[in-house]
């Protein structure tokens, strides 16, 4: 394409009103093999090579300041073009509320004498127990009740008068200015990727208002009914459903509880899938109930809209229980979860990426569904030779369920969830809000016996259920404990007078009775167990591990580090849980004699197969050839974690090998990965024990569904630890544990 200088004037027409002239800045556009941008007098068109020889195109224009998708089309290699949509309006809606610190974090700050304005500001953004759209609110709410006027809803408006086309590696974007979305303002961006059928639409917008929490909807408006399309999806039972838009118009978007967070526009010979980013779209809750994350809306007799959304209300899990006591307790927990709906963070001045993906396809809807699902390995954690998948921190009340049913032979609804995800090892968290966790023995020990036996009966070949516990006494904050075998212990605080640290119970055998931090570590060292900080710097671990960073138990090598959970979610950040999780891990490794690790966890409650568990979870791949049987020692699991022989991942990026070659100034960090979405960047992060530094490696030149080997030279001199992580263009990631270089 021959350009005059760096600017190309495009005379664009308007369907109604006065025609406008648009200056489309092409100076950052570079023609690449497989993706082309072409400007004409009225539009700019992206054409690119997709998967399996597919060819795709998207043509954009402006009418009265309104960006439009003039056409979306796809064809097979050598085939005829199939139009998937024409004259489509990019649509966004936003709902905003006020971010508050919760009473959980605030009470800890006050108890520790750390309730300074600076700490309250920091922990406000790390909040878990918040629900800015629940008015007036009561659960975990600090300060005055919420007011209805704190909530605002807005639909996007545009006053665009220019566009820019830019190349970044193997992707090309078209950006329109003039987007306003309630409190937010910025740009509209479309991005295509070489070798992929994906088209990403996103609002890149920021606000200067304080205390903003938000959710958004994003999609396309103006799909013509006269072309006889339909929208199809699989429901929570994985049965195909459809809407042909023969009924009445909708006043509001109809959120669809679609399996795998996807709906598909069936356009006859071709189809268009609509779905959100697989993981980064989701903020942490206490369950994974499918709330409906895609929508349709019949706007009138001529057209309809499709898109992705976060509903304004959360839900609790379905209560259970045969006895009134258990049923009423489960109802209370489930109802309380309605007010556990924190939304996204939007700190002032941060550019939020409100994204939706489209998958253009010249094939039918079922084939398109399978093609999209390949990006998340069918929402399954793919097996890797030499590794087993591990996840945990789930409060599933196993022993209470056994007691309520009156039998050990039960099949809880969460077992097929984990098996369906491809999980090999699950560690549970009974004795949290269930059972008699604070009892010194008479009630707790029989319940522990049921817990152990229940876990044994649910375990199977290649599926191990470990009866672990979030203990929470004597150290500060919340912490997790994993043993290499079933061990009876109590942790009543304070320990009853006269109760010994150890005893041989005539029924249960050897029992520990913990009464101090020293007792905890005596048991941990004797049993060769591990422990770690649960949800650091949030929830009931506000100010932890900071408050015990100098304690002997933290400095012990049996204290392995912290847990990872995507909390909070800030769509301006390049990494999930960028500041809290990775920031805490770096701090812990600086404080301790040896690097500390970061174990991916769930921290959720009851689950059923119809939930959307995959997008709200990250797991660990542990170097392990065989899953131990329940009656065998679980030491291979415990010691593998203790040695850091695992990586965390959302599932789309998988490590196969890693290590450090050489030493000192001649060190080389090596790693081999496979991935699905086009990659974004990798980083090598290190510290001398005080200052954390990093080397970023851009990976925007990668096509989807590939493998890559890294060999990164670095100088290990003076470095206390070093770690490595990789992130893709959808915000998915995988990370290795920090190690001490030679």
Which residue in 676, 673, 621, 682 sits closest to 647, CA to CA?
A: 621
Which residue in 288, 260, 278 sits closest to 732, CA to CA?
A: 278
Q: Do 583 and 706 belong to one domain?
A: no
Q: Do 259 and 364 belong to one domain?
A: yes
Q: Among the residues of 655-716, which ranges form H helices? A: none
- For 38-55, the pLDDT digits (tens) are 988 789 999 999 999 999
d(CA 479, CA 536): 9
Does some domain include residue 336?
no
pLDDT at 507 over 80: yes
Q: Do 363 and 476 belong to one domain?
A: no
| Domain of residue 585, CATH code | 3.20.20
Q: Do 68 and 107 belong to one domain?
A: no
Q: Which residue has the higher pLDDT, 566 or 433?
A: 566
DSSP letters, 202-221, are EEEEE---SSEEEEEEEEEE
Query: How high is the pLDDT of residue 13?
Result: 34
Does some domain include residue 175?
yes
C-alpha neighbours within 13 Å on the C-beta side of residue 72: 29
Cβ density class 139-152: b for 16+ within 10 Å, e for less: bbbbeeebeeeebe
Q: Do 238 and 106 belong to one domain?
A: no
Cβ density class 170-197: b for 16+ within 10 Å, e for less: bbbbbbbbbbbbbbbebbbbbbbbbbbb
Q: Which domain holds residue 437?
A: 380-627+634-651
| Domain of residue 719, CATH code | 2.60.40.1200
Query: How high is the pLDDT of residue 21?
Result: 58
Query: How high is the pLDDT of residue 680?
Result: 98
Q: Do 539 and 588 belong to one domain?
A: yes
Query: How high is the pLDDT of residue 19?
Result: 40
Burial class (CB in 10 A: 0-12, 13-18, 19+), 410: middle
Which residue in 729, 95, 678 sits closest to 355, CA to CA?
A: 729
Does some domain include residue 327?
no
d(CA 180, CA 330): 43
| Domain of residue 46, CATH code | 2.70.98
- For 653-693, the pLDDT digits (tens) are 999 999 999 999 999 999 999 999 999 999 999 999 999 99
**Average per-residue pLDDT for the chain:** 95
Query: How high is the pLDDT of residue 402?
Result: 97
- For 442-469, the pLDDT digits (tens) are 999 999 999 999 999 999 999 999 999 9
Query: How high is the pLDDT of residue 138?
Result: 87
Nearest 5°: phi and psi at 399?
Answer: -70, -30
pLDDT at 8 over 50: no
Tokens of 16: 């109604």
Cβ-based neighbours of 143, under 8 Å, separated by 6 or more: 100
Give counts: helices (H), strands (E), the chain: 11, 43
d(CA 290, CA 237): 12
Q: Among the residues of 337-413, which ranges form H helices? A: 365-373, 398-405
Q: Do 562 and 693 belong to one domain?
A: no
pLDDT at 16 over 80: no
Predicted confidence band at 609 (pLDDT cuts at 50, 70, 90)?
very high
From residue 595, alpha-carbon distances to 293, 525, 642, 643 in Å are 39, 19, 11, 10
Does some domain include residue 686?
yes
- For 323-358, the pLDDT digits (tens) are 999 999 999 999 999 999 999 999 999 999 999 999
Does some domain include residue 505?
yes
Query: How high is the pLDDT of residue 4?
Result: 34
Query: How high is the pLDDT of residue 24?
Result: 84
Residue 527: CB atoms within 10 A of its CB come to 17
d(CA 589, CA 689): 8
- For 374-431, the pLDDT digits (tens) are 999 999 999 999 999 999 999 999 999 999 999 999 999 999 999 999 999 999 999 9
Indicate the pTM of the whole model: 0.96
Query: How high is the pLDDT of residue 42?
Result: 81
d(CA 22, CA 40): 11
Query: How high is the pLDDT of residue 11?
Result: 33
Query: How high is the pLDDT of residue 14?
Result: 34
pLDDT at 15 over 50: no
Does some domain include residue 416?
yes
Query: How high is the pLDDT of residue 3?
Result: 34
The angle formed by the CA atoms of residues 471, 472 and 477, to the nearest 5 degrees, is 150
Q: Do 108 and 162 belong to one domain?
A: no
Query: How high is the pLDDT of residue 2?
Result: 33
Which residue in 267, 269, 231, 278 sits closest to 372, CA to CA?
A: 278
Nearest 5°: phi and psi at 235?
Answer: -80, -175
With pLDDT > 70 as the criterion, what percentage of the chain qualifies?
Answer: 97
pLDDT at 22 over 70: no
Q: Do 543 and 592 belong to one domain?
A: yes
Least confident of 63-72, 124-133, 137-146, 205-214: 137-146
Which residue in 689, 683, 741 sits closest to 715, CA to CA?
A: 741
Q: Do 160 and 275 belong to one domain?
A: yes
Nearest 5°: phi and psi at 510?
Answer: -70, 130
Strands of 458-615, DSSP E: 464-466, 469-470, 479-482, 488-490, 502-505, 509-513, 530-533, 559-564, 597-600
Q: Do 602 and 688 belong to one domain?
A: no
How many domains, in total, are found in the chain?
A: 4
Q: Do 214 and 268 belong to one domain?
A: yes
* Residue at which a domain ends, from 340, 357, 375: 375
Nearest 5°: phi and psi at 388?
Answer: -130, 145
Does some domain include residue 330?
no
Does some domain include residue 1?
no
**CA 669 to mean position of chain CA atoms:** 27
């Amino acid at each position: 394409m021959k350009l005059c200088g760096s600017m190309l004037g495009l005379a664009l027409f308007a369907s109604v009103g006065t025609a406008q002239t648009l200056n489309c800045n092409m100076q950052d556009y570079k023609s690449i093999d497989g993706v082309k941008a072409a400007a004409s007098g009225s539009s700019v068109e992206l054409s690119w090579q997709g998967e399996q020889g597919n060819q795709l195109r998207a043509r954009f224009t402006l009418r009265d300041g309104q960006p439009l998708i003039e056409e979306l089309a796809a064809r097979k290699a050598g085939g005829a073009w199939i139009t998937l949509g024409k004259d489509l309006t990019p649509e966004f809606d936003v709902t905003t509320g006020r971010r508050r610190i919760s009473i959980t974090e605030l009470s800890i700050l006050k108890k520790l004498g750390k309730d300074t304005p600076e700490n309250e500001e920091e922990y406000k953004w790390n909040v878990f127990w918040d629900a800015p759209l629940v008015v007036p609110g009561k659960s975990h709410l600090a300060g005055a009740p919420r007011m209805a006027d704190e909530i605002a809803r807005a639909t996007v408006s545009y006053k665009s008068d220019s566009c820019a086309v830019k190349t970044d590696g193997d992707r090309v974007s078209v950006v329109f200015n003039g987007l306003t979305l309630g409190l937010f303002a910025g740009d509209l961006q479309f991005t295509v990727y070489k070798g992929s059928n994906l088209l990403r639409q996103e609002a890149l917008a920021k606000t200067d208002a304080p205390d903003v929490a938000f959710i958004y909807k994003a999609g396309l408006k103006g799909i013509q009914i006269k072309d006889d399309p339909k929208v199809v999806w699989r429901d929570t039972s994985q049965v195909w459903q459809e809407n042909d838009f023969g009924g009445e118009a909708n006043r509001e978007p109809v959120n669809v509880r679609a399996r795998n967070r996807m709906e598909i526009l069936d356009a006859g010979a071709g189809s268009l899938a609509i779905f959100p980013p697989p993981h980064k779209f989701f903020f942490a809750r206490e369950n994974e109930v499918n709330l409906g994350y895609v929508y349709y809306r019949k706007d009138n007799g001529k057209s309809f809209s499709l898109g992705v959304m976060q509903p304004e209300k959360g839900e609790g899990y379905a209560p259970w229980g045969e006895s009134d006591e258990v049923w009423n307790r489960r109802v209370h927990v489930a109802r309380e979860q309605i007010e556990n709906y924190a939304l996204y963070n939007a700190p002032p001045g941060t550019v939020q990426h409100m994204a939706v993906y489209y998958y253009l396809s010249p094939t039918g809807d079922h084939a398109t569904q399978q093609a999209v699902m390949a990006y998340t390995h069918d929402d399954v954690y793919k097996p890797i030779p030499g590794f087993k998948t591990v996840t945990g921190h789930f409060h599933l009340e196993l022993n209470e369920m056994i007691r309520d049913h009156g039998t050990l032979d039960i099949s809880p609804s969460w077992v097929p969830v984990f098996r369906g995800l491809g999980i090999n090892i699950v560690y549970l968290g009974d004795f949290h809000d269930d059972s008699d966790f604070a009892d010194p023995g008479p009630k707790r020990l029989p319940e522990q016996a049921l817990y152990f036996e229940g876990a044994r009966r649910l375990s199977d070949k290649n599926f191990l259920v470990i009866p672990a516990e979030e203990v929470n006494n004597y150290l500060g904050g919340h912490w997790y404990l994993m043993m290499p075998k079933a061990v009876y212990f109590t942790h009543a605080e304070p320990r009853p007078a006269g109760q010994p640290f150890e005893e041989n119970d005539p029924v249960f055998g050897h029992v520990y009775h913990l009464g101090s931090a020293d007792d905890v570590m005596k048991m941990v060292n004797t049993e060769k167990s591990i422990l770690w900080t649960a949800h650091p710097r949030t929830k009931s671990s506000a100010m932890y591990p900071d408050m015990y960073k100098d304690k002997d138990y933290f400095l012990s090598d049996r204290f392995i580090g912290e847990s990872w959970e995507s909390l909070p979610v800030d769509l301006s950040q390049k990494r999930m849980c960028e500041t809290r999780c990775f920031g805490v891990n770096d701090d812990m490794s600086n404080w301790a004699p040896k690097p500390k690790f970061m174990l991916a966890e769930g921290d959720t409650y009851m689950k059923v197969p119809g939930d959307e568990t995959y997008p709200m979870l990250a797991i660990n791949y542990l170097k392990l050839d065989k899953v131990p049987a329940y009656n065998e020692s679980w030491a291979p699991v415990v010691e593998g974690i203790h040695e850091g022989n695992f990586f965390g991942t959302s599932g789309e990026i998988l490590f196969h090998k890693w290590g450090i070659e050489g030493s000192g100034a001649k060190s080389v960090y090596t790693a081999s990965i496979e991935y699905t979405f086009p990659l974004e960047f990798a980083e090598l992060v290190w510290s001398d024990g005080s200052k954390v530094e990093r080397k970023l490696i851009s990976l925007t030149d990668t096509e989807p569904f590939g493998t890559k080997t890294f060999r990164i030279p670095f100088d290990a001199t003076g470095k206390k630890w070093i770690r490595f992580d990789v992130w893709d263009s959808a915000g998915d990631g995988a990370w290795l544990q920090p190690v001490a270089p030679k």
